[in-house]
Amino acid sequence: MKIEGYWLASGILGVTGSILRRVADSGADAVVTKSIGPEPRKGHSGPILSVSHGGLLNAVGLTNPGIDAFHDEVANLKDVGVPVVLSVFGNTVEEITEVAFKGEKMHPTAIELNLSCPHAEIGQISHDPKLTFEYVKAVKDAVECPVFAKVTPNASDVVSVGAAAERAGADAVVAINTVRGMKIDIFQRRPVLGNRVGGFSGPPIFPIAVRCVYDLYEKLAIPVIGVGGVSTWQDAVEMHLAGASAIQIGTALISGIDVFQRIKEGVQKYLRDEGFTDISEIVGAAGRD
Ligand SMILES: Cc1cc2nc3c(=O)[nH]c(=O)nc-3n(C[C@H](O)[C@H](O)[C@H](O)COP(=O)(O)O)c2cc1C
């Protein structure tokens, strides 16, 4: 698949075929499903969402129907109308490989490996280059379609993790998942989220995402898919300049599903006004001398 355009990020509206189609109809160039695991999973107890400092804290806990039920829901992902990236996770190399292998029968355009949810057990994988290598390599050996590795800003060295994914054969890296965060209710004097710790997303994490994309673009040969806090066309341009070939959008959908169209039109106008003919002319331009 061509790694370009503006995609729905994993976990936001991505769990039924009809919703994926609605997002596609609203202008998304591709959609990523909610992360699907081997078995149905209830997720964490509530509250699972809270707003804080202009962003969103979530500890959904990877709620999902499991790969077999998801297959019953959307047997053929090609029906969605735009490329569909199936996001998968597993607690072990064997589990994630099995989910990816079963998932490929749904004809996704690519498979994205969620190695990095900060409020579930799997969050540890993408802190460790060796584990990341093992997970990516096993899935690459098991499926034919392109495989993307989603990394975390919570790792002390995101570039080593991205490089390990590249060595294992990943076709792109997706940066970033949510940032570990917490909110405390000052009158109850305890954490707001049922899981206490959650993943922070939305505009406040944008500079963190830009830094990760910039560093990864500098060191890797495979494309970087940028995600984290993008809500305007100016953000999208900045993310492209840092090195993102394609951009995923999640939390900004709260303000309306037309966000894809708004961003696309803004970026196109920027390119025209600044004298560029193609987006590829600005991808990574901020890192060039
Ligand atoms: C409610 C919610 C659920 C999410 N679920 C997933 C998920 O299942 N898998 C995953 O890889 N990322 C998940 N994410 C992370 C997003 O895909 C994205 O990486 C992150 O929110 C940063 O982008 P944003 O600021 O545009 O939302 C979730 C984010 C939110 C807000």
- Atom number of ligand 1 nearest to Cα 11: 5
Q: What is the DSSP pairing of strand 179-182 with strand 30-32?
A: unpaired
- HEC string of the chain equals CCCCEEEECCCCCCCCHHHHHHHHHCCCCEEECCCECCCCECCCCCCCEEEECCEEEECCCCCECCHHHHHHHCCCHHHHCCCEEEEECCCCHHHHHHHHHHHHCCCCCEEEEECCCCCCHHHHHHHCHHHHHHHHHHHHHHCCCCEEEEECCCCCCHHHHHHHHHHCCCCEEEECCCEEEECEECCCCEECCCCCEEEEECHHHHHHHHHHHHHHHHHCCCCEEEECCCCCHHHHHHHHHHCEEEEEECHHHHHCCCHHHHHHHHHHHHHHHCCCCCHHHCCCHHHCC
pLDDT of residue 16: 87
Whole-number Å distance, alpha carbon 201 to ligand 1 midpoint, is 7
pLDDT at residue 288 in the model? 76
Length of the chain: 289
Using the mean position of ligand 1's atoms as its centre, give its distance from the Cα of residue 49 in Å. Answer: 12
Residue 272's contacts (CB-CB under 8 Å, 6 or more residues apart) are none
What is the number of alpha carbons within 13 Å of residue 58 lying toward its C-beta? 16
Reference 270, options 256, 259, 281; nearest CA is 281
* 145 included as an active-site residue: no
Residue 88 CA: distances (Å) to CA of 45, 142, 148 = 22, 14, 10
Task: Delineate the domains of the chain, giving CATH numbers in brackets.
Answer: 5-287 (3.20.20.70)
In this predicted structure, what is the pLDDT of residue 148?
98
Query: Whose alpha carbon is nearest atom 10 of ligand 1?
Result: 10
Please check whether residue 208 is in contact with residue 201, taking contact to mean a CB–CB distance below 8 angstroms: no
How far, in Å, CA of 49 to CA of 179, rounded? 14
Q: How many CB atoms lie within 10 A of CB 46?
A: 11
Kindly give the confidence (pLDDT) of every residue in the chain, 289 residues in length, as a single tens digit, with 9 standing for 90 and above.
Answer: 999 999 999 999 878 888 999 999 999 999 999 999 999 999 999 999 999 999 999 999 899 999 999 998 888 888 888 999 999 999 999 999 999 999 999 999 999 999 987 766 777 898 999 999 999 999 999 999 999 999 999 999 999 999 999 999 999 999 999 999 999 999 999 999 999 999 999 999 999 999 999 999 999 999 999 999 999 999 999 999 999 999 999 999 999 999 999 999 999 999 999 999 999 999 999 997 7
- Single pTM value for the model: 0.97
Q: Residues with beta carbon inside 6 Å of ligand 1?
A: 9-12, 34-35, 56, 58, 60, 62, 87, 114, 117, 150, 177-178, 201-202, 205, 227-230, 249-252
